């Protein structure tokens, strides 16, 4: 019998008989083997723990702590769910069921949607299957055998999947009890390895994601190695619900979307508008300080403009229907770029003028299918914090570098400190030469590298007119949101015939950069609401302090305090209602006002105030000067007045 050499990462190799199970080998190499190991990587390839090892190699045990391990665990979990569905509803057909970020799903072809009662039944059955601790085994079949096997079982979707597989390669199936599923694997050794299991919800999903295909019934679930971790996850889901900007937007009276107005169209109420105003003021000041020129453009324009820009050709499905005006047609703008281009074109430009940076908080309207609208996150009318930079090719990398620095500065001010950058390269359907793409992609890459930003490449995810960098931020709950985007465009300069006169006296074509930092003001605002759970930091809080007199004897003093704070530019309100202090505090607390200023006899006599924070902390007695300092100190320097400038 031949032997093989196996080792742990960084460990010394030992000899084993060829075909030994990974588990046995591991038991000899690592003492003791952790009980939560349920799969293995052999030379970097994920394998079953019970499977044979045939080659020399390094064994890396997999647990739930690794992302690969998590995937295996959830994948096994979804098989358990699928088995439960088949046991409860034998006529349901299997389709696909992958692990996803925080759990798993499985799509079934079934004659009707699953009800919440069905889910309970399925979950109970799944727990029973876990109890049974069925061992999970792998088998390989030829393509023909596999087709025959699943045909026999009435699994026509599986047959369709297998028919799409390459010829000649063996096809693996996994079995646990009577349940057999087509699967690449690996899986946990037995169903009992899944400890905490929960089904979450069900909804329709198209076969292969195509709406022309039949609708399947998708069930979502999640699983963890312990009840404790599962509960923590369920709490997080509750927290997400609690922070939902649609709910908080109503409670805090920030905005509304009304049927009579139209879906996807936002009405900004005074408190929400105030926050927006603070955001926009900050944005404008910083743009001016960073060498941008602010512009304004109309909401509609001749359809011809959108033909020139290529939007009619490439973006039609997202545009509102054009409207006839006199002899021509006008289009509600889905983007701002053509206007900024027209401003560029209004003069003959010299290389000395470049780079030109036109910025605008430009409101655009896009037709979105009704089913995709979602609060402030996905709407039909929104304001982009847009800018278009026109530069010479050699300035490209430098401009991108500056934009990235600007992006992180702005987002950090809003309290986001974790960024993930993505570089998207040439898609299949693209304009421009491969050389142009390479050059632009290199400019983006070098800006990322020079800035020291780690990034991930998204091959083929660029826009048709050029490569781009997307920046995603992480919020307080660890969710990521894409806000900023920096896109290079060599298409539009060409379409619009943009030029500048170079040092050589000849005509050259500038390169355009489209960029947004916050993305959409509506969406970014929604993200802020959820990130802060409605408790905005001092500089954004629509009401920064509320003066609460104990009784109407103290109204004059309260009014006086209010006036002093207002004079220092603090956004302050007072509550002169004939109510007890407890109620006034409760309501100020619910409105998430950062500072409550309680004034009664004691304060009026000593010319002081009693200060309470919205977190319930009582800061005790302060002078008005101390109170003002307290509030103003909480406002970041960069948003106070002067903008910080950096190169």
Partner RNA sequence: GCUGGCGUAGCUCAAUCGGCAGAGCAGCGGUUUUGUAAACCGCAGGUCGGAGGUUCGAUUCCUCUCGCCAGCUCCA
> Of 259 and 633, which CB lies nearer to RNA in the complex structure?
259
623: contact with RNA by CB under 7 A: no
Sheet with 300-302, edge to edge strand ranges: 300-302, 328-332, 323-325
x/- letters, 189..208, toward RNA (CB under 7 A): ------------x-xxxx--
DSSP string, 329-384: EEEE-S-SHHHHHHHHHTS--BGGG-SEEEEEEEEEE----GGG-BTTTB-SEEEE
382: contact with RNA by CB under 7 A: yes
Known catalytic residues are 337, 366, 384, 386, 388, 468, 514
263: contact with RNA by CB under 7 A: yes
Shortest distance in whole angstroms from residue 51 CB to RNA = 32
Residue of 98, 87, 304, 311 lying closest to 208 (CA atoms): 98
| Structure tokens that stand for 444 in this block | 């983006």
Alpha-carbon gap, residue 491 to 308, rounded angstroms = 11
Q: At what angle do helices 434-450 and 396-413 cross, to 10 degrees?
A: 50
Q: Across the strands, what pairs with 105?
A: 220
> Of 149 and 157, which CB lies nearer to RNA in the complex structure?
157
- Judge residue 622's burial from the number of C-beta atoms within 10 Å of its C-beta, 0-12 exposed, 13-18 middle, 19 or more buried: middle
> Of 395 and 520, which CB lies nearer to RNA in the complex structure?
520
606: contact with RNA by CB under 7 A: no
Alpha-carbon gap, residue 94 to 89, rounded angstroms = 11
Total number of residues that touch RNA (CB under 7 A): 64
Shortest distance in whole angstroms from residue 486 CB to RNA = 11
Alpha-carbon gap, residue 306 to 335, rounded angstroms = 10
Q: Of 44, 298, 371, 454, which one interacts with RNA (CB under 7 A)? A: 371
519: contact with RNA by CB under 7 A: yes
> Of 242 and 580, which CB lies nearer to RNA in the complex structure?
580
375: contact with RNA by CB under 7 A: yes
> Of 107 and 181, which CB lies nearer to RNA in the complex structure?
107
Q: Of 121, 139, 143, 374, which one interacts with RNA (CB under 7 A)? A: 374
The answer to whether 390 and 344 have CB atoms below 8 angstroms apart is yes
Quick check: helix, strand or coil at residue 233?
A: helix
Residue range at the interface with RNA (CB under 7 A); choices 163-171, 269-277, 583-591, 626-634: 583-591
Q: Of 91, 231, 551, 623, which one interacts with RNA (CB under 7 A)? A: 551
* Measured CA angle at 431 (ends 426, 434), to 5 deg: 55
459: contact with RNA by CB under 7 A: no
Q: Of 176, 286, 331, 610, which one interacts with RNA (CB under 7 A)? A: 610
Residue range at the interface with RNA (CB under 7 A); choices 48-56, 153-161, 379-387, 437-445: 379-387
52: contact with RNA by CB under 7 A: no
Shortest distance in whole angstroms from residue 355 CB to RNA = 23
The answer to whether 182 and 158 have CB atoms below 8 angstroms apart is yes
Q: Of 41, 75, 333, 380, which one interacts with RNA (CB under 7 A)? A: 380
Shortest distance in whole angstroms from residue 578 CB to RNA = 4
DSSP string, 159-200: HHHHHTSPTTS-EEEEEETTEEEE------SBGGG--EEEEE
485: contact with RNA by CB under 7 A: yes
211: Cβ contacts below 8 Å, ≥ 6 apart? none
Q: Of 56, 285, 368, 458, which one interacts with RNA (CB under 7 A)? A: 368
Shortest distance in whole angstroms from residue 647 CB to RNA = 28
Alpha-carbon gap, residue 222 to 157, rounded angstroms = 24
552: contact with RNA by CB under 7 A: yes
Residues 206-225 that bind RNA (CB under 7 A): 206, 209-211, 215, 218
> Of 10 and 371, which CB lies nearer to RNA in the complex structure?
371
> Of 136 and 550, which CB lies nearer to RNA in the complex structure?
550
Shortest distance in whole angstroms from residue 609 CB to RNA = 8
- Whole-angstrom CA distances from 602 to 262, 403, 436, 605, 621 are 53, 54, 74, 5, 10
Tell me 465's DSSP state: T
| Structure tokens that stand for 220 in this block | 């979502």
Shortest distance in whole angstroms from residue 579 CB to RNA = 6
Residue range at the interface with RNA (CB under 7 A); choices 23-31, 222-230, 498-506, 582-590: 582-590
The backbone torsions φ and ψ at residue 68, rounded to the nearest 5 degrees and listed phi first, read -65, -40
Q: Of 598, 627, 628, 631, which one interacts with RNA (CB under 7 A)? A: 598
582: contact with RNA by CB under 7 A: yes
586: contact with RNA by CB under 7 A: yes
Shortest distance in whole angstroms from residue 612 CB to RNA = 3
Give the β-pairing of 99-100 and 39-42.
unpaired
482: contact with RNA by CB under 7 A: yes
Alpha-carbon gap, residue 233 to 140, rounded angstroms = 36
516: contact with RNA by CB under 7 A: yes
Residue 203 CB coordination number (10 Å): 13
Write down the H helix ranges in 420-567.
434-450, 491-495, 521-532, 555-567
Give the β-pairing of 267-268 and 480-489.
unpaired
366: contact with RNA by CB under 7 A: yes
**Side-chain half-sphere of 577: how many Cα atoms within 13 Å?**
12
> Of 268 and 382, which CB lies nearer to RNA in the complex structure?
382
Residue range at the interface with RNA (CB under 7 A); choices 60-68, 403-411, 434-442, 576-584: 576-584
477: contact with RNA by CB under 7 A: no
Residue of 211, 188, 210, 523 lying closest to 373 (CA atoms): 523
Q: Of 369, 429, 506, 641, which one interacts with RNA (CB under 7 A)? A: 369
17: contact with RNA by CB under 7 A: no
Question: Could you list the residues that contact RNA (CB under 7 A)?
Answer: 113, 201, 203-206, 209-211, 215, 218, 246, 250, 257, 259, 263-264, 366, 368-375, 377-380, 382, 384, 482-483, 485, 516, 519-520, 522-523, 550-553, 578-583, 585-586, 589-590, 596, 598, 600-603, 610, 612, 616, 618
């Amino acid at each position: 019998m031949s032997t093989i050499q196996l080792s742990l990462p960084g460990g010394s190799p030992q000899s084993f008989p060829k075909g030994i199970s990974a588990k046995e080998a591991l038991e000899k190499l690592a003492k003791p083997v952790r009980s939560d190991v349920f799969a293995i990587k052999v030379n970097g390839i994920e394998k079953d723990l019970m499977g044979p090892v045939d080659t020399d190699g390094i064994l890396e045990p997999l647990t739930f702590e690794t992302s690969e391990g998590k995937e295996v665990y959830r994948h096994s979990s979804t098989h358990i769910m699928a088995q439960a569905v088949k046991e409860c509803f034998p006529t349901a057909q299997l389709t696909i069921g992958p692990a996803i970020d925080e759990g798993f799903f499985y799509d079934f072809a079934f004659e009707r949607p699953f009800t919440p009662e069905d889910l309970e039944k399925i979950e109970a059955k799944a727990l029973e299957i876990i109890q049974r601790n069925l061992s999970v085994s792998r088998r390989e079949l030829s393509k023909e055998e596999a087709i025959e096997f699943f045909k026999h079982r009435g699994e026509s979707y599986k047959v369709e999947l297998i028919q799409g597989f390459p010829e000649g390669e063996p096809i693996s199936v996994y079995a646990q009890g009577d349940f057999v599923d087509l699967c690449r694997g690996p899986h946990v050794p037995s169903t009992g390895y899944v400890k905490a299991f929960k089904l979450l919800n069900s909804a329709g999903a198209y076969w292969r994601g195509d709406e022309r295909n039949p609708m399947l019934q998708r069930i979502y679930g999640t699983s963890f190695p312990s009840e404790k971790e599962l509960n923590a996850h369920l709490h997080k889901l509750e927290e997400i619900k609690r922070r939902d900007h649609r709910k908080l937007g109503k409670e805090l009276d920030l905005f509304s979307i009304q049927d009579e107005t139209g879906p996807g169209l936002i009405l900004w109420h005074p408190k929400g508008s105030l926050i927006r105003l603070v955001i926009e003021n900050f944005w404008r000041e910083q743009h001016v300080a960073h060498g941008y020129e602010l512009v304004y453009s109309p909401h509609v324009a001749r359809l011809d403009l959108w033909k020139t820009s290529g939007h009619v050709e490439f973006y039609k499905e997202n545009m509102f229907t054009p409207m006839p005006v006199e002899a021509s047609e006008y289009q509600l703008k889905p983007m701002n770029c053509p206007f900024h281009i027209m401003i560029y074109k209004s003069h003959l430009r010299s290389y000395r003028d470049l780079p030109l940076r036109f910025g605008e908080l430009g409101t655009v309207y896009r037709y979105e299918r009704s089913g995709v609208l979602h609060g402030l996150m996905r709407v039909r009318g929104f304001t982009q914090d847009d800018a278009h930079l026109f530069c010479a090719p050699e300035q490209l990398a430098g401009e991108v570098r500056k934009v990235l620095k600007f992006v992180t500065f702005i987002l950090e001010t809003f309290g986001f400190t974790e960024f993930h950058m993505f570089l998207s390269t040439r898609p299949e359907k693209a304009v421009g030469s491969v050389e142009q793409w390479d050059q632009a992609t290199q400019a983006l890459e070098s800006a990322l590298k020079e800035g020291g930003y780690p990034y991930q490449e998204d091959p083929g995810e660029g826009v048709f007119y050029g490569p781009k960098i997307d920046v995603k931020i992480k919020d307080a709950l660890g969710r990521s949101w894409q806000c900023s985007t920096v896109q290079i465009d060599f298409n539009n300069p060409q379409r619009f015939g943009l030029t500048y006169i170079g040092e050589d006296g000849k005509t050259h074509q500038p390169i355009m950069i489209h960029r947004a930092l916050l993305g959409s003001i509506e969406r970014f605002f929604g993200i802020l609401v959820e990130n802060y759970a409605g408790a905005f930091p001092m500089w954004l809080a629509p009401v920064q302090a509320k003066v609460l007199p104990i009784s109407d004897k103290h109204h004059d003093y309260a009014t006086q305090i209010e006036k002093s704070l207002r004079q220092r530019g603090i956004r302050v309100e007072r509550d002169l209602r004939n109510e007890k202090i407890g109620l006034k505090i409760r309501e100020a607390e619910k409105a998430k006002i950062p500072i409550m200023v309680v004034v009664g006899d004691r304060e009026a006599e000593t010319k002081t105030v009693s200060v309470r924070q919205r977190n319930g902390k009582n800061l005790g007695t302060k002078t008005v000067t101390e109170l003002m300092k307290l509030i103003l100190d909480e406002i970041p320097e960069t948003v106070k007045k002067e903008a910080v400038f950096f190169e």
